[in-house]
Chains A and B, each alone.
Chain A
Amino acid sequence: MDTLDYLFQGFGTALIWYNIAFAFVGVLIGTAVGVLPGIGPMSGVALLIPVTASITSGLPPEQAATSAIILLAGVYYGAMYGGSTTSILLNTPGESSSVVTTLDGYQMAKKGRAGSALSIAAIGSFVAGIVTLVALIALAKPLSAVALKFGPAEYFSLMLLGLGAVSGLAGKSVTKALIMTICGLLLGTIGIDSVSGIARFTFDVPWLYQGIEFLTIAVGLFALGEVFKTILEKEDDDVHIAKINNLLPSKNELKESAGPIARGSVLGFFVGILPGAGATLASFFSYILEKKISKNPSKFGTGSIAGVAAPESANNAASGGAMIPLLTLGIPGSGTTAILMGALMMYNVQPGPLLFEDHPQVAWGLIASMFIGNLMLLILNLPLVKVFAKIIQTPKQFLIPIIIAISIFGVYAVQVSTYDLLLLLGCGIFGYFLSKNDYPIAPLVLGLVLGPMVENNLRRALTISNGDFSVFLTRPISLAFLLITLLWLLIPFLLKRRGKEVIINVEG
């Protein structure tokens, strides 16, 4: 069967009534998550894993996995749409990838052009979403075919590359990011070793035998950590929402933004594929690019429509691009995709080159549902943007405790253990202190998810080579990956040495 047949089958899966409902709920919650400052896509997805797990528990395993991932991915790309709303209307980005949008978006809103800014953002996101999906479909087969040829040594080095790239770009200090990565990997070694069956670092506590559950850690560090931050650093928020008048952009504005949208989509897609670089960097780069090639760069920052169209297309394209390494190689390039991967693994679906052969329903169903989801988002966002703008006014008094309650319910529903709840609470405290002191959390979760796979591939490679470590250096592809990892970590370091500012990728 060729790709198109698979795609049609995927549409068959995605168009089952409950999968449409899941996609709809996903993008709806995603938009809300994007609008609400404080909850980013990462904590949003982490919070929803247990909820989706309990909703899908009645379905057969593979269908449950498909439906769950459709919903969770919907939250992920839906947040990219929602983030622009607050940037434009309030000058406060709902999530970090929309920071650049505030520069021109808010200026446009001030001049009474909020409506066109919002609709251009939605249209740009939609176009970018479709462009990346087409690229994803085209690249999925060849990439997984290449990845299938990899041996354990190549896989090990490739995972190191993923971890190194995320650490290199994750925070102000590479040292701290690397420490967090190692901690994540170490946490992953707790429990019964899958190869030898020996219990490691469990201290004879039965609860530790099954290992530390990634879900508990992710929800605790992201969602609860963020909640504690909001409680501790209470700000009096004056909410001034700019008025939205006419929603439809003029022909002139559409013409002006066509180029930026196209360039933003392509650029964002390629930035998204790179591990470590995500939506935030993509939006930043595309803004700079537009400013460079513009005929009058002085217009940027004063309400230029290209300054909204380009970054908003780019961040959505990047979120689609980030799905490529996840689905074809099984290597998440960012915190949010790491959480998506953890979710898939909870359903016993291993992302990677075999995903398209072993679980075509999951892979193609997800891709098809992203078409549908993007269409829903476009329809949702154009007329309903005023409703979403209202979400910003949700009082924190009610929002914060309910997030805590949902985290506790979710973790308990999946784990049924008070110990996990205590760990959750502890992680919340850690999450607050770590992120307050510039210790990025995304690498830790990435390490925890990838840890067992890194270890298995390391041991398989070493077993084949009889314990000889040079196997990683003598195989050319593996050596190339290791060299890129090294460069990735060293170049930002050297740039900093020379006093240059290094852009980092912040995830929320």
Chain B
Amino acid sequence: MDIKFDRIASVLFLAIGVLFIIGSRNLASSSYGSSVGPDIFPFILGALLVLLSIRLFYETVMTRNHQGEKEKLQYKPFLIIFVATLIYILTLETVGYVITTFIFLLVCFQTMERTKWVKSIIISACFSGLVYFLYVQVLKGTLPGWPIWF
């Protein structure tokens, strides 16, 4: 368990709780015909969150910092896949599903392991083509299939 993470998290949760309390104060306090308005539930929750985050902070202070062994994390492939996913999401509507999915899958397959090029290409092509065909042609769903300038 990472004490530092818990400490930062408790402060963040505290901030979220306070923000929700302030936010609910700005809402109308009653709705028509009832003294119980839309503000009461988020207000209670915000207050509870504040109390709980204080409790969490107290717990992190009380526990000794026993250092666990650091695991080696694979940052490089993760970052590549993360960025690839981000680009995939942002270009999905303009470039279309078939092309973006194909490229995204190919990049990820090769990031995971740099082998089996042919198999990777076949699987990505099959996946993107098949999903598009089944969803748009058979099920009549809407999916931006091809580039908008096409």
Contacts and interface: CB of A to CB of B under 8 A. Distances in A.
Interface centre among A175, A178, A234 (most CB of B within 10 A): A175
A475 interface: no
A200 to B, nearest CB: 6
A408 B143 contact: no
Interface string A368-411: 00000000000000000000000000011110111011001100
Interface string A181-198: 011011001000101101
A239 B75 CA distance: 25
Contact of A405 (B9, B31, B41, B104): B104
A175 B104 contact: no
Name B's interface SS. helix
Nearest to B91: A418
A67 to B, nearest CB: 14
Contacts of A421: 89, 92
A402 B38 contact: no
A228 interface: yes
A185 B5 CA distance: 23
A54 B142 CA distance: 10
A412 B45 contact: no
A416 B53 CA distance: 36
A172 B6 CA distance: 13
A182 B45 CA distance: 6
A400 B92 contact: no
B112 interface: yes
Interface in A409-434: 409, 412-413, 416, 418, 421-422, 425, 429, 433
B2 A422 contact: no
B121 to A, nearest CB: 12
A233 B108 CA distance: 16
B56 A196 contact: no
Interface in B60-91: 71, 73-75, 77-78, 81-82, 85-86, 88-90
Contact of A186 (B20, B28, B115): B20
A315 B80 CA distance: 39
Contacts of A397: 109, 112-113, 115-116, 120
Interface size class of B (residues with CB under 8 A): 35 or more
B73 A232 contact: yes
B52 interface: yes
B81 A231 contact: yes
Contact of A175 (B46, B59, B81, B116): B59
Contacts of A400: 108, 112
Given A179-B49, A200-B42, A228-B78, A462 B36 contact: yes
Given A189-B45, A198-B28, A58 B139 contact: yes
Contacts of B49: 179, 182-183, 186
Contact of B38 (A176, A182, A200, A439): A200
A105 B56 CA distance: 40
B45 A186 contact: yes
Contact of B32 (A178, A196, A455, A459): A196
A398 B34 contact: no
A191 to B, nearest CB: 11
Given A175-B52, A401-B112, A433-B5, A408 B89 contact: yes
Contacts of B97: 409
A245 interface: no
Contacts of A418: 89-90, 92-93
Contact of A200 (B27, B81, B123): B27
A379 to B, nearest CB: 27
A186 B23 CA distance: 12
B146 interface: no
A490 interface: no
Nearest to B97: A409
A506 to B, nearest CB: 16
A480 B105 CA distance: 54
A290 to B, nearest CB: 33
A357 interface: no
Contacts of B36: 459, 462-463, 467
Interface string A457-468: 011001100110
Contacts of A186: 16, 20, 42, 45-46, 49
B145 to A, nearest CB: 12
7 shortest interchain CB distances as A-B pairs: A401-B108, A196-B31, A193-B38, A397-B112, A421-B89, A397-B113, A462-B36
Interface of A: 54-55, 57-58, 172-173, 175-176, 178-179, 182-183, 185-186, 189, 193, 195-196, 198, 200-201, 228, 231-234, 395-398, 400-402, 404-405, 408-409, 412-413, 416, 418, 421-422, 425, 429, 433, 437-439, 454-455, 458-459, 462-463, 466-467
Given A186-B46, A201-B23, 14 more contacts: A175-B55, A179-B13, A186-B45, A200-B23, A200-B38, A228-B78, A228-B82, A397-B116, A405-B105, A409-B101, A433-B5, A438-B1, A459-B41, A462-B36
18 contacts: A178-B48, A179-B13, A179-B56, A186-B20, A186-B45, A186-B49, A189-B42, A195-B38, A198-B38, A201-B23, A231-B81, A232-B78, A404-B108, A413-B143, A416-B142, A421-B92, A429-B82, A463-B36
